[in-house]
Structure 1
Amino acid sequence: MTVVNKLTRLLNITYPIIQGGMGNISDPNLAAAISNAGGLGTIGVGDLPINEAVYKVTEMLKQTSNPCCVNIPIAVHPNVSHIVQQMINLKVPVVSLSAGNPAPFISLLQQHKIIVICVIATVRQAKKAEKAGADIIVCEGYEAAGINAKNESTTMTLIPQVVQQVNIPVVAAGGIADGKGLAAALALGASGVQMGTRFIATKEAPYHKIYKQAIIQATDESTVIVGRRYNRIRRLIRSEYASKLLEIENKNDDPAIFFKQTTENYHKIGAFDGDIKNGFINGGQIAGLIEDCPSVYDLLETMTADAKQILKQSLEKLE
């Protein structure tokens, strides 16, 4: 089921659905599967060494001829200028910039015909990104998994305010996992959605069955925020390791201790090894709604069909 709007036309994709970056646990097979199914698959470079990031992106590009994306967290990667140049060299069609000031990189990327997405968490950031030349804005609410903004604005409140202030396509992120969420985002004025947690529980995702089951078995109370004390806010699935992080946070004024225990190495231990005693797993609040593990194609097709039906029925109820 094809959706035609300003986002899908600009990205040349079938469904208005983008994969979130997922940092160092990004997987080229999953990203390519999402692009091949008609969404926009994404590799997040996190703080990966240049050669590892290039390998992952190259593998994604080998597996799909459809549009795909690379997420670069500006304040996280130790050599942003180099990684940006590598993405230009690889002719990546779309680059997503997050966690920092995107302005120095937007024009450079666009000179090489790369579409630029900017991930923001406030109206102020959205306006600045548009002024700097961004093609698309991803507006992420506090419901989302992983690292979150300090202002704690929710998707439901943030999206309509951003849409009111910018003219470029806006994508809703945080708290979306099904057709109802897609329909809600579209009703709020967004042109599409970005998801991370929902893609963990898919057949193509390479993550440990313990991680997938934690998502599928989650309730509305299964996530926890760590790092508020240090202004490094991250949303995790509750686990023994997450409890350990909270204990560290409650007892230590030194942020270095906490930061050392929340590196991407511990993320990999949880996500790939399924060892949630010695590593953490990210998860958004929407995990409580996820109950199955479909293929990527079935997920995108079902979400879009359900969203269309929901919007149609909602209009009929107003008559």
Structure 2
Amino acid sequence: MQQKITDLFGVKYPIIQAGMIWNSGWRLASAVSNAGGLGLLGAGSMYPDVLREHIVKCKKATNKPFGVNVPMLYPNLEEIIQIIIEEGVPIVFTSAGNPKTYTQHLKNHGITVVHVVSSVKFALKAQEAGVDAVVAEGFEAGGHNGREETTTFTLIPMVKEQIKVPLIAAGGIANGKGMLAAMILGADGVQVGSRFVASEESSAHQAFKKMVVAAKEGDTLLTLKELAPVRMLKNKFFNELMELYTTNPTKEQLIELLGRARAKRGMFEGDLEDGELEIGQIAGLIHDIKPAATIVNEMVTEFELAKKQATLL
């Protein structure tokens, strides 16, 4: 396996569990780290005091490296960064914002910094800002996504051609074959989100997990590009949103329909009708809920087997 990512993070496998809102608490992050990957806490759905609590519990649950994903469009950003520094978190993944804002500040405190992008343009900006690695996330990914609709298969080789820092592939990767494909295209590691949503340790509501497992091809769609593009499962709220789009709505009308805490209501509280259910296209290949360690081990086993088979072609 690629050593750039394992050496950078001090982990056994180049597998990163995405720091997803309402899914990535200390139980999931520590389980993935203990299994040899890199677990991330999802700060985007945590108030500062809640984040500190999850960091403290994660440190007690694992002696392996773990990190925090920080969406830079959320409030309390300065306080969140300060807590990460105070608690000695070794790795930070930033997203949804300008990487120049905090990269050097974090690196001055000995923290490894990675930024999530959806295009070559922003990958170059992240490299210029001094990040240690870049996550290039394709259009297939769940949750908030890029507007360009560039797929992972296309994005990874284009970004690889332009940057010198290690590259992590994300979007539509849930098993060892997907991991191998990403690496053949130029990735040094993979970030996996949706597959870990359907894990026993995920903080997502059990009803949401079951809906992910039941999802089929075509059950998700990227929408709300006027606000912040998000891929979600089709449900009653989604249908209401599509109906509103037929009227050529203003941004204000979209914001009014979206309301507050819609994602929490869906993914964390289990409101499958009126909640926002964020998940990737790869949900169609997720058929069960299992321990995070099993997911990591199966990915590695399938990766090694697929690699051997590929050499025979």
Alignment of 1:73-88 (within 5 A): 73-74=71-72, 76-88=73-85
Overall identity of the aligned pairs, in %:
38
Give TM-score, length-normalised by structure 1.
0.93
Distance 1:97 1:170 in 2: 15
Give the equivalent residue in structure 2 for 1:205: 202
Give the equivalent residue in structure 1 for 2:120: 123
RMSD of the TM alignment (CA)? Answer: 1.7
Give the equivalent residue in structure 2 for 1:291: 287
Distance 1:178 1:81 in 2: 36
Deviation (angstroms), 1:47: 5.7
Give the equivalent residue in structure 2 for 1:152: 149
Distance 1:139 1:263 in 2: 30
Alignment of 1:114-193 (within 5 A): 114-193=111-190
Matched residue type, 1:271:
M
Query: Contact conserved, 1:147 with 1:234, CA < 8 A, in 2?
Result: yes
Give the equivalent residue in structure 2 for 1:195: 192
Question: Aligned pairs, how many?
Answer: 313
Distance 1:260 1:70 in 2: 31
Runs of 4+ in 1 over 6 A off after TM superposition: none
Alignment of 1:235-314 (within 5 A): 235-251=231-247, 253-262=249-258, 265-314=261-310
Query: Contact conserved, 1:207 with 1:272, CA < 8 A, in 2?
Result: yes
Worse overlay, 256-265 or 13-22: 256-265
What are the ranges of 5 or more consecutive residues in structure 1 without an aligned counterpart?
A: none
Match status 1:26 vs 2:24: yes
Matched residue type, 1:17:
I
Deviation (angstroms), 1:167: 1.4
SS at match of 1:292: coil
Deviation (angstroms), 1:270: 1.2
Deviation (angstroms), 1:239: 1.3
Distance 1:16 1:233 in 2: 28
Distance 2:256 2:20 in 1: 19
Distance 2:257 2:111 in 1: 36
Distance 1:263 1:120 in 2: 26
Give the equivalent residue in structure 2 for 1:217: 214
Matched residue type, 1:18:
I
Distance 2:260 2:193 in 1: 16
Alignment of 1:81-120 (within 5 A): 81-120=78-117
SS at match of 1:9: helix
Query: Contact conserved, 2:23 with 2:197, CA < 8 A, in 1?
Result: no
Deviation (angstroms), 1:10: 1.0
SS at match of 2:282: helix
1:213-246, Cα deviation, whole Å (9 max, x unpaired): 2111111111022213x14211001111221222
Query: Contact conserved, 1:48 with 1:77, CA < 8 A, in 2?
Result: no
